[in-house]
Amino acid sequence: MSPRSWPTRTLRAGAVAAAALLTLTACGDGGGEGGDAASFPEDDISMIVPFSAGGPTDTVTRLIAEPMGEALEVQVLVENVEGAGGTVGGAEAAQADPDGYTVLMHHIGMSTAPTLYEDLAYDPQTDFKTVGLVTEVPMTIIARKDFEATDAKDLITYLKENADSVNLAHAGVGSASNLCGLLLQDALGVTFNEVPYDGTGPAMTELVGGQVDLMCDQTTNTSSQIKDGSVKAYAVTTPERVESLSDLPTAQESGLDLEVSVWHGLYVPAETPDDVVAKLTEALQAALKDQTVIDEMAKLGTAPVAEDQATPEAHSAKLKEQTELWAGILPAGG
């Protein structure tokens, strides 16, 4: 059975109530709010994060939820619906009422899920409308602190020559660090011994302890270890250097054809009216100009995207391009 057949969040509030009552509630919601774009929004908006509270994606979501709510003059409530690499929350958002009152925050995983999950309950490209990109979190190539290579160029030479003996850690299949690791091997034309962990925390612990050699992960996860020297950092994976880690070269300036970031974006169900989407996009753009958002994102080693990226068009282009890219690189799932 697919997750579609299970009650959505509206119903969940009354988990013990009778089914008939629940149906009434759902109809009530639909009738009252549906489609009237001119008056949108009249009620609080719920923003689904398909990952756990306190994680990097949750952090970013909570940052923009408040200023978006101010722009729309309602509350934007963040809900964590975690599980199965973000596909549980994705499925829930896909079948929500298409009225703009349920918004999904998702990251790069939206473009990898169709390849990784054969039985995915939704199609990211056709079951959703894109609202706009939010942030692109840079990634860093790091190694245990006593790793032989001295700088990025040296690292590239070393990795090519000693690929067989390198243990590459990542945070599990489909995680950002897994994706970056795959691109890195692709760019170098080598294969490392991949060691999957259950999340970034344990992977980082092992890297700090010197049990594995190499990892590529988001600045949100690696900045503090880089700054205090418990791991050795070589390069960032963005086209430009990252302000908070300005002495790290980009992979490209070091001669490695590698560009990847963990992009985040907002989605609504596909049937949502365009003018409702436009209002959400406008609110997103306003939130990304908020000084608190800019400052807090800087602390996480990232920044809001430029305004021309926080649009449905730029976002759907990104989703399409990335879905094709990952379909070619990732092993198909079961």
d(CA 251, CA 230): 21
97-to-38, 74, 247 alpha-carbon distances in Å: 17, 18, 48
Task: Give the residue with the Cβ less far from another protein, 61 or 316.
Answer: 61
The Cβ-side half-sphere exposure at 301, using a 13 Å CA radius, reads: 26
Rounded to a whole number of angstroms, the minimum distance from the CB of residue 113 to another protein is 11
Taking CB under 8 A as the rule, does residue 205 contact another protein? yes
Question: Long-range contact list for 291-298, CB < 8 A, 24+ apart?
Answer: 292/63, 292/67, 293/63, 293/64, 293/67, 296/63, 297/60, 297/63, 297/135, 298/243, 298/244
Task: Give the residue with the Cβ less far from another protein, 58 or 99.
Answer: 58
Asked whether 135 and 106 are in contact (CB, 8 A), the reply is no
d(CA 262, CA 179): 10
Asked whether 288 and 305 are in contact (CB, 8 A), the reply is yes
Contact positions with another protein (CB under 8 A) in 16-45:
16
Contact positions with another protein (CB under 8 A) in 178-197:
193-197
* Options 24, 42, 44, 209; binder of another protein; rule CB under 8 A: 209
Inter-helix orientation angle 56-72/291-299, to 10°:
180
Q: Which of 140, 143, 135 is nearest to 218 (CA)?
A: 140
Taking CB under 8 A as the rule, does residue 84 contact another protein? yes
Pairing of strands 193-196, 167-170: parallel
Rounded to a whole number of angstroms, the minimum distance from the CB of residue 191 to another protein is 13
DSSP annotation of 102 reads E
Q: CB under 8 A: which stretch of 19-27, 94-102, 207-215, 246-254 binds another protein?
A: 207-215
Q: Residue 110 corresponds to which tokens in the numbers above?
A: 């939206």
List, in sequence order, every residue forming a beta bridge with 137; answer none if it has no partner. 262
* Options 17, 151, 154, 201; binder of another protein; rule CB under 8 A: 201
Taking CB under 8 A as the rule, does residue 163 contact another protein? no
Inter-helix orientation angle 219-227/200-208, to 10°:
20
Contact positions with another protein (CB under 8 A) in 52-71:
52-56, 58-59, 62
Residue type for position 87: T
* Options 64, 121, 236, 268; binder of another protein; rule CB under 8 A: 121
Angle among Cα 264, 316, 75 to the nearest 5 degrees reads 50
Contact positions with another protein (CB under 8 A) in 246-265:
none
Rounded to a whole number of angstroms, the minimum distance from the CB of residue 147 to another protein is 15
Taking CB under 8 A as the rule, does residue 230 contact another protein? yes
Q: CB under 8 A: which stretch of 101-109, 147-155, 167-175, 314-322 binds another protein?
A: 167-175
Taking CB under 8 A as the rule, does residue 166 contact another protein? no
Computed on alpha carbons and rounded to an integer, the radius of gyration of the chain in Å comes to 21
Taking CB under 8 A as the rule, does residue 123 contact another protein? no
DSSP annotation of 124 reads T
Contact positions with another protein (CB under 8 A) in 295-324:
296, 299-300
* Options 22, 26, 78, 325; binder of another protein; rule CB under 8 A: 78
Q: CB under 8 A: which stretch of 165-173, 183-191, 257-265, 274-282 binds another protein?
A: 165-173
Taking CB under 8 A as the rule, does residue 88 contact another protein? yes
What residues line the site for another protein (CB under 8 A)? 1-3, 6-7, 9, 12, 15-16, 52-56, 58-59, 62, 78, 80-84, 88, 92, 116, 119, 121, 167, 172-174, 193-199, 201-202, 204-206, 208-212, 220, 223-225, 227-230, 296, 299-300, 331, 333-334
